[in-house]
Each structure stands twice: as structure tokens, then as C-alpha cells.
Amino acid sequence: MEESSELRDQEQTKKSEDAIINIGNDPVMLLALDVLSVLGSKKKVILRAKGNSIPNAVAIANIITEKMLKGNSKIQKITVDTESAAGIGKMTSTIEIILNKN
């Protein structure tokens, strides 16, 4: 029985190798340091932002990959989407940036 519980623990660890961080309008360098600390313990970080926070997410991804972890990290995937409120017609842009640590 112990072997199967160890396998389950390892599978859960693999699933939890990525962290999702919602980006707001906080200072960019403060958020970049938070992302860097998460990348210290995880292999993959997903940055998510909506509306006016999208430039912050892009700046954080660039700071991490080009300055802080240059050569040791990369942007795996960028997904851009639009959400619309039901019946109102107002649309909000969203972005998801996946960062990998090598």
C-alpha cells in the first residue's frame, strides 16, 4: 500500500509544478520579485491578467525572462482572449502567459 500512496504523492507533485498568479495593478518590480520567488520552487508559472493589467503581465514576463533569469527561463505560450459580459456587450481582454524555468 505504501508504494501506491507514494506514486499518488508523486503524481500530485507533478500536477502542482505550476502556479497561477493573477496580475493586478501593483508595482511591476514587486510582482516580478513575487514571480521569481515562486519560480524558485516551481518549474512553471502562469501569469493571468485582464484589461488594464495586461501591460503589467507582459512587463513582468519580459523582466523575468530577459533580465532576472536570462538564459534560464523562457515564455512557453501566450494566450490572448476576450470575455464579454452577458447582455451588456462590454468586452474585456485577457492574457495568459506561461513561463518555464529551465
Pairing between strand 44-50 and 18-22? Answer: parallel
SS3 90: coil
- Report domain extents, the chain: 20-101
pTM of the model as a whole: 0.77
DSSP 8-state symbol, 66:
I
pLDDT in tens, 7-37: 334 444 444 567 899 999 999 999 999 999 9
Average pLDDT in the 47-65 region? 95
Q: Would you state the cell numbers that stand for residue 59, as one nine-digit string?
A: 512587463
pLDDT per residue over 66-81, tens digit each? 998 888 899 999 999 9
Residue 13: the pLDDT is 43
Q: Residue 23 has which C-alpha cell? A: 496580475
Q: What angle do CA 77, 18, 84 make, to 5 degrees?
A: 55
Is the domain spanning 20-101 CATH 3.30.110.20? The answer is yes
As a whole number, the mean pLDDT across the chain is 83
Give pLDDT, residue 9. 42
